[in-house]
Structure 1
Amino acid sequence: MEMFQTAQGGDSLPLAGHPLFHSADLDEARDAVAQVYCDHHLDVMGKHGFAARHNRLPGSALSINVMTYSAKTMIAPGALERFYLFQLPIRGHASISNGDARYVIGGGSSGVLNPDADTCMIWSEDCVQVMLQIEKRALMETARAELGLPSGTPLRFSGANDMRGAEGRSFLGLLHYVMAEAERGGVVLGGDTLLGKQLERTLMVGLLQTQAHGLPAACGERGPMPRSVRRAEGFMRENLRSPIMIEDIARAAGTSTRALQSAFRDRHGRSPMAFLREMRLERAWEELSNPSRHTSVTEVATDLGFFHLGRFAEQYRKKFGCTPVETLRAALD
């Protein structure tokens, strides 16, 4: 976003005075990133030559990072385990898969990776991201103190978040201030200073205020999954491109339509057909994020049973925070 770019000028990255590494070697870049994050797969998808640059400002419970890959790149770390990762592209876009969540960030939107979910990302060519790496323990403690998160309850973030509103701009303004002070030599993170600790705590509170999260629904994902629901989900997954109805799903699950409706509302808080629509939207995201040169939004949508393209685009935007065309364009860049 503008506040991070205009302060630096040219092609230099924010936090230029705090370089971690700069390499055109894929293996060297992977090893350097793994040392501060976690082990991961790193693969070049585009035709552009590979180069990676990473600047890093470490603190006590979090670090501020600026990173770019010159080529379109796939990063697959699996589960992060020890930390949450806030990501804000200030140039380019990234397609994110984090557990069941699928979304695209960029153009003013951000997202947070949950540490307990398998993760795979595709960064567009020359994507530049500002990232906050926050210790899981520290953010959970802040959520308990500030939001009343019950002890033992997981904190999970979901989807893309528009950072162009008042709260988003305030949070990013504080983040930019800390980075700008570091560039002027006034490093305020890390150490045992009261100011450093308070700034880290304020950044974590700002993240909690601007990123979508919530406690799991009381009926959501507790207890073993009923056999009928498990069979129904398997049948749906195998027939995403088929014109199936609720009666077909109930028959495959070995139950009545009324019992299946009740089981899905108890388990997922929605009807089987609404759940099927979500599965089809996620499949659309996967196909648009990993296209061939022949892929089109219309073909993907109609192949998955979305024949009203305007309604499909709106449902897609509501779920992923961007339009299908934006996902495809970012994947093809």
Structure 2
Amino acid sequence: MSAPVIATQSLDEAREAVTQIYLPHDLVGPQDAMDMRLNAVSDRHMTLGFLTYQAEAELTMPATEDCYHVNLTVVGETQASRGDGGREYTAAHERGVVLSPVQMNRVRWTPEAEQLILKIPRTSFESHLSALLGQPVTEVIDFDFGLDLTTGAGRALLRSVQFLASELDKPAGLADMPLAREQLEAYVLT
């Protein structure tokens, strides 16, 4: 996915870029010895980004309160834990995680790990679900922490996010067609 935000070897620059695009967090990793790359596209419905550190890294993220994060590992692996003691392992095209807006989360990256990451505002996600169900959604959606990307639904999610990312990369593609982009984003949310 293009739409570059930053490519850096600096731990401080990496932390600042991810904070600006996704959320405030603590980042532990090699000082000035990583090869971090972040590409991202944002609109009112979601942020879709590609992130890699190319170094061992650990992110500790407080509860956001206002958005969900869906981390889809496409290369390598990560280990994730959250405030309630839940633990998950992600592997390329096999497992991902859904970070709850009301829990502290920690994710450890292997040096080769790469992820497609969705940041979805609670208002977007919960109103989309409300419209699908035909009734109000008044509380945080309680997703499982782990996301099995080998099931039919998991494969469909991964393929739809990869398709959205590739379409946003194309010249004169979805990035220039807001109505079509909105429909594909609704599909990803569903």
TM score, norm. by length of structure 1: 0.52
Query: 1: CA distance between counterparts of 2:173 and 2:119?
Result: 17
For residue 69 of structure 1, what is the aligned residue in structure 2?
53
The structure with the largest strand share of the pair is 2
Pair 148,96 (structure 1): closer, same or farther in 2 beyond 3 Å: farther
* Equivalent position to 1:196, from 176, 181, 184: 181
For residue 284 of structure 1, what is the aligned residue in structure 2?
none
Query: 2: CA distance between counterparts of 1:152 and 1:170?
Result: 27
For residue 183 of structure 1, what is the aligned residue in structure 2?
169
For residue 91 of structure 2, what is the aligned residue in structure 1?
106
For residue 103 of structure 2, what is the aligned residue in structure 1?
117
Contact 2:98 2:147 in 1 (8 A): no
Contact 2:9 2:32 in 1 (8 A): no
Q: Give the greater-gyration-radius structure (CA).
A: 1
Displacement, 1:43? 0.5
Displacement, 1:181? 1.9
Write the letter of the residue equivalent to 1:194: L
Question: Percent of aligned pairs with the same residue?
Answer: 25
Write the letter of the residue equivalent to 2:139: T
For residue 91 of structure 1, what is the aligned residue in structure 2?
75
Contact 1:40 1:78 in 2 (8 A): yes
Contact 1:82 1:136 in 2 (8 A): yes
Query: 1: CA distance between counterparts of 2:17 and 2:136?
Result: 37
Write the letter of the residue equivalent to 1:152: T
Displacement, 1:56? 0.9
Contact 2:55 2:111 in 1 (8 A): yes
For residue 173 of structure 1, what is the aligned residue in structure 2?
159
Question: Is the counterpart of residue 31 in structure 1 residue 16 in structure 2?
Answer: yes
Displacement, 1:152? 2.0
Query: 1: CA distance between counterparts of 2:50 and 2:165?
Result: 10
* Equivalent position to 1:53, from 20, 37, 40: 37
Q: Any gaps of 5 or more consecutive residues in structure 1?
A: 1-14, 206-333
Displacement, 1:189? 4.9
For residue 143 of structure 1, what is the aligned residue in structure 2?
129
Displacement, 1:190? 8.0
Displacement, 1:149? 6.1
Match of 2:68, SS state, is strand
Write the letter of the residue equivalent to 1:67: L
* Equivalent position to 1:81, from 65, 71, 74: 65
Number of paired residues?
188
Contact 1:55 1:67 in 2 (8 A): yes
Match of 2:189, SS state, is helix
Pair 153,81 (structure 1): closer, same or farther in 2 beyond 3 Å: closer
Query: 1: CA distance between counterparts of 2:96 and 2:135?
Result: 23
Question: Is the counterpart of residue 41 in structure 1 residue 29 in structure 2?
Answer: no
Query: 2: CA distance between counterparts of 1:64 and 1:181?
Result: 12
Query: 2: CA distance between counterparts of 1:190 and 1:156?
Result: 34
Contact 1:190 1:197 in 2 (8 A): no
Displacement, 1:20? 0.7
Query: 2: CA distance between counterparts of 1:186 and 1:171?
Result: 24
Write the letter of the residue equivalent to 1:135: P
Query: 2: CA distance between counterparts of 1:160 and 1:48?
Result: 32
Match of 2:174, SS state, is coil
Pair 113,149 (structure 1): closer, same or farther in 2 beyond 3 Å: farther
* Equivalent position to 1:154, from 128, 135, 140: 140
Displacement, 1:55? 0.8
Residues 34-92 of structure 1, C-alpha deviations (whole Å, 9 max, x = no match): 111222110017x9932211011223310211000111111012112221111111111
Displacement, 1:148? 5.2
**Larger displacement relative to structure 2 (147-156 or 162-171):** 147-156
TM score, norm. by length of structure 2: 0.88
